[in-house]
Amino acid sequence: MRGGPSSDSRSPDKDFASLKADGEGAFWTKYDAYILRSLGLKADAATFAKDVGRAFDEIMPGVSNWAPYPETISVLDLLKRRDLKLGVISNATSLLTNVFDNLGMSKYFDTVVISDEVGVRKPSPDIFKIALRRADVTASRSLYVGDMLEVDIVGAKKAGMNAVLIDRTNTYPDARCLRMKDLNFFRTFV
């Protein structure tokens, strides 16, 4: 798990990548148990996971609780001015649409594919292919930008797309892909 004592600090990335739609609860219980152990706390992970889940369900649907990274809007503006097709592929629920609307970000995206709506999750190449079809673009002429190596980058590459890993905290220093600190790299390349 990221920042943890295990030899592979990215193990939840792989675990999350292998999730099926009905396995997310077990993943979060396992993740919460890891956090508790890492903090040296002795508490029941299942109870803790339920409490965190309940708090998440109360807080996160509030669209005002979400904020983009500082460079996001200006980079989206730049890309749209260049007349590029932009899309989102997310392992999320329809809440994402409400969040984008609240942040004024919906106007930037030509295509939004949400796993909860199409019945397939990243890293399955199928969700990427759905997005490519909806955007009417080929994989080889597309660039996928994501922040999880196993979920985003591996999945996009399996679908034949080019991919860039946004690694804001240097979590993946040994990743065998194009890796950038944030979205500002587009200012140089576009």
Tokens representing residue 73 in the block: 């809007």
pLDDT at 34: 77
pLDDT at 153: 97
- Count CB neighbours of 134 within 10 A: 15
Tell me the whole-structure pTM to 2 decimals: 0.78
pLDDT at 100: 95
Phi, psi of 48 (to 5 degrees): -60, -45
Q: Could you tell me the domains of the chain?
A: 11-59 (no CATH), 68-189 (3.40.50.1000)
Strand ranges in the chain using DSSP code E only, listed in sequence order: 87-90, 111-114, 143-146, 162-166, 178-180
- Count CB neighbours of 117 within 10 A: 15
- Residue 50 and residue 56: Cα distance in Å, rounded? 10
Going residue by residue through the chain (190 aa), what tens digit of pLDDT does each one get?
333 333 345 456 666 666 665 556 677 777 777 777 888 878 887 888 788 778 877 776 778 888 999 999 999 999 999 999 999 999 988 889 999 999 999 999 999 999 989 999 999 999 999 999 999 999 999 999 999 999 999 999 999 999 999 999 999 999 999 999 999 999 998 8
- Residue 155 and residue 142: Cα distance in Å, rounded? 13
Tokens representing residue 103 in the block: 């942040």
pLDDT at 101: 94
pLDDT at 21: 57
CA-based nearest residue to 87, from 150, 131, 118: 131
- Residue 28 and residue 158: Cα distance in Å, rounded? 26
